[in-house]
C-alpha cells in the first residue's frame, strides 16, 4: 500500500482547506451525481471521479460532491445536478468526463451554467 | 454494465441501504480462471420469502417505481459466462451475495477498474459502513479496510477529493499484480 505517511500529509493539507471553508463562511456549492443502476451503466463512475479530480486540481474549498439514486429519467443518465447557493438548481444530462472541466470552470467557479449541456437544451433539441 | 467492477458498485448500494455497519468485499480468482465476487454485509437482511423473489426484475424496495435491475443484470452477466449468483440472507443478520464468473469464457465481462469502484463506493458513504476489500489469486493477495486508514486521517472525511484519489491510486497499485490478468 502507498504509505500512511502520505495520508498524514493529505490530512494536514485538507485541514487547512477546511479551516478556509469555515473561516470564510462561504456557502457550499453542491454537485450531486446519479449513481443508481442506470447511472452506473451509463458511465457515472468516471464522471464522479472527474469531478473529484477537477476539484482537487483547483483546490476548491466550497464544493461538495455527493451521490444520489435514480430520479426516474434513466435515458438521460449520467445526470449531474449543480446547486450554487442563491441560484436555481441546474441539471446536466448525458454528462461525460470531458465535459466536467468546463462545468467546473464556468458554473461551479464562475456561476454561469453551461446551457448547452443542460436538461433544457437536451429536451428542446 | 461493461465491467464486473461496475456491478460491484451497483450491488454494494443494497448493503449500504440495508444499514450495514460492515461491508466485506472479496475477490478470489482460482487457478482455473473462476472468479468469485462476494459481498457480505451485516445489514437488515431479507426474509426467506423476499430472497425467493429478489432475483425478479419486478421486485424492488424502492417506492418510486416497480422495477429494480441491479441483481437481474448481475445474474445475466454471471450466467452468460457460465457462472451464477448465490444469495444467502437472514433477517436481522445480513446478506451475502456471491457472483461467480468463468473468466476464460469469451462471454465473460472484464473485471474492469476495481480501484475506481472502491474509491467511488467509499466516497459515497464516507462515514459508515466500514468497507473492506480482499483480493486473492495464484499471483498473491491484498487487504484493505477503511478502518485501517481512519486513524491516520483523524477526523478528515474519506470523501475529501485528495483522500479519494489516494485510495484509488493505492488500490490500483495493489490490485494490478493480483488481478491484472482479468482487468481488461
C-alpha distances (whole Å) from B109 to each of A37, B30, B130 are 17, 16, 28
First to last CA, chain A: 48
Provide the grid cell at A36. Answer: 443508481
Residue B66 pLDDT: 66
User: Interior CA angle at B113 toward B131 and A39, to 5°?
Assistant: 80
ipTM of the complex: 0.89
Contact B1 A41 (CB under 8 A): yes
Mean pLDDT of chain A: 91
Does residue A55 sit at the B interface (CB-CB below 8 Å)?
A: yes
Contact B123, B158 (CB under 8 A): yes
The single residue listed with the C-alpha cell 446547486 is A83
Name the band, by pLDDT with cuts 50, 70 and 90, for residue B19.
very high
Q: Count of A–B CB contacts within 8 Å?
A: 94
Q: Where are the domains of chain A?
A: 26-124
Within chain A, residue ranges assigned H as helices are 4-24, 37-42, 44-57, 100-102, 119-124
Instruction: Provide mean pLDDT across the span A80-99.
Output: 96
0.95 surpassed by pTM: no
Percentage above 90 pLDDT, chain B: 86
Q: Report the length, in residues, of chain B.
A: 184
Q: Give yes or no for B6 touching A (CB within 8 A).
A: yes
Tell me the CATH number of domain A26-124, given options 3.40.50.920, 3.40.50.2300, 3.40.50.1220, 3.40.30.10: 3.40.30.10
Answer whether residue B65 shows pLDDT above 70: no
Please give the domain boundaries of chain B with CATH numbers for all domains.
4-179 (3.30.565.10)
Amino acid at each position: 500500500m502507498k504509505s500512511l505517511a502520505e495520508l498524514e500529509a493529505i490530512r494536514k493539507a485538507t485541514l487547512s482547506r477546511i479551516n478556509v471553508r469555515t473561516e470564510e463562511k462561504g456557502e457550499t456549492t453542491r454537485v450531486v451525481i446519479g449513481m443508481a443502476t442506470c447511472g452506473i451503466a451509463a458511465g457515472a463512475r468516471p464522471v464522479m471521479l472527474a469531478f473529484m479530480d477537477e476539484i482537487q486540481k483547483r483546490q476548491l474549498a466550497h464544493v461538495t460532491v455527493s451521490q444520489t439514486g435514480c430520479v426516474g429519467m434513466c435515458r438521460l443518465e449520467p445526470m449531474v445536478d449543480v446547486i450554487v447557493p442563491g441560484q436555481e438548481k441546474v441539471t446536466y444530462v448525458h454528462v461525460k468526463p470531458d465535459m466536467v472541466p468546463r462545468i467546473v470552470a464556468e458554473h461551479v467557479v464562475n456561476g454561469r451554467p453551461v446551457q448547452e449541456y443542460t436538461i433544457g437544451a437536451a429536451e428542446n433539441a | 454494465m461493461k465491467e464486473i467492477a461496475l456491478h460491484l458498485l451497483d450491488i454494494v448500494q443494497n448493503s449500504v441501504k440495508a444499514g450495514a455497519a460492515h461491508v466485506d468485499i472479496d475477490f478470489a480468482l482460482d487457478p482455473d480462471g473462476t472468479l468469485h465476487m462476494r459481498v457480505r454485509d451485516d445489514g437488515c437482511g431479507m426474509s426467506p420469502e423476499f430472497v425467493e423473489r429478489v432475483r425478479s426484475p419486478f421486485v424492488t424496495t424502492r417506492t418510486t417505481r416497480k422495477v429494480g435491475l441491479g441483481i437481474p443484470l448481475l445474474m445475466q452477466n454471471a450466467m452468460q459466462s457460465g457462472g451464477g449468483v448465490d444469495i444467502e440472507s437472514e433477517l436481522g443478520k445480513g446478506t451475502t451475495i456471491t457472483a461467480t464468473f468463468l473468466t476464460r469464457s469469451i462471454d465473460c465481462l472484464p473485471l474492469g477498474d476495481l480501484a475506481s469502484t472502491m474509491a467511488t463506493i467509499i466516497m459515497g458513504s464516507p462515514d459508515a459502513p466500514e468497507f473492506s476489500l480482499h483480493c486473492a489469486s495464484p499471483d498473491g493477495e491484498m487487504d484493505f479496510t477503511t478502518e485501517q486508514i481512519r486513524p491516520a486521517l483523524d477526523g478528515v472525511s474519506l470523501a475529501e477529493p485528495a483522500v479519494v484519489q489516494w485510495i484509488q491510486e493505492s488500490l490500483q497499485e495493489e490490485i494490478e499484480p493480483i488481478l491484472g490478468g482479468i482487468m481488461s
